[in-house]
Amino acid sequence: MALFEHYSRDREDILGSDVATRALSVIAVENDFVEGVYEKLASVYDFTFGPTLHPGRVQAIQRMGIKPGDRVLEVGVGTAINANLYPRDCAVTGIDLSGSMLEKARDRVARKGIRNVRLIEMDAVDDTFDIVYAPYLISVVPDPIAVAREMRRVCRTGGRLIFMNHFRSPNPLLGWIERVISPFTVHIGFKSDLDLPAFVAQAELEPLSIEKVNIPRIWSLVTCVKA
């Protein structure tokens, strides 16, 4: 399989007549639950998820091809672990619902003297962005479809929507295991069984590419363009 794999709706692993209606996951969560999980994780997030998921972060920003002056919105900025990876000549807005995460983020940005990143505690931004990026977020939020639609709303026409996330494996056995363990993984910050084909169909996204990232390669970098 090529490292950078172009997406096609004819791919065997996205076929299914019920993608427009089927549940994205066996797990349903509320905002309060998600905020609680990440308030607890804030102090250890960089140590537990930092090194493991870092290659994907680097790869995602490389793929963005950020140009001078580009406006980037990072949805679910967390502890601002990506802040130092962005070019200094773009303008980055990071948003998050977790106050504890943002406290860590502001400390990081101040310590490293990063001046092109602003951090806001909110769940929506009414503005126009060239790139709207959700790293490791979609399997966390209560309503992935609503988040994707909001991302598309604030993205300029011709801009890019980028999702980096773990999605349920198309392999029947692995997919079954991910469904079984999802009620447990949600307590460490993600649903392990999020359905990519259903997510793409229901959010009315048109991915240009889907690329596997990190090791093991069980995370996907999904790039879309707002028509």
Domain assignments of the chain as residue spans, ordered by start:
5-225
Condensed to tens digits (0 to 9), the pLDDT of residues 200-210 reads: 999 999 899 99
pTM comes to 0.87
What's the pLDDT at 162? 98
Condensed to tens digits (0 to 9), the pLDDT of residues 102-146 reads: 999 999 999 999 999 999 877 555 668 999 999 999 999 999 999
Q: Which helix (H) or strand (E) holds 55?
A: helix 50-64
Which class would CATH give 5-225? alpha beta
Question: What does the block give as tokens for 43?
Answer: 């102090």
* CA 215, chain centre distance (Å): 17
Quote the CA–CA distance of 141 and 154 in Å, as a whole number.
Answer: 18
Question: What does the block give as tokens for 7?
Answer: 């997406």
Structural contact between residues 116 and 96, judged by C-beta atoms closer than 8 angstroms: no
Which residue is associated with the tokens 């969560």?
Answer: 29
What mean pLDDT value characterizes the chain? 88
Quote the CA–CA distance of 112 and 191 in Å, as a whole number.
Answer: 32
Instruction: Choose among 120, 98, 119: nearest CA to 108.
Output: 119
Band (37; pLDDT cuts 50, 70, 90): confident
Condensed to tens digits (0 to 9), the pLDDT of residues 40-52 reads: 887 888 888 888 9
Question: What does the block give as tokens for 190?
Answer: 């993600």
Is a pLDDT exceeding 70 seen at residue 9?
no
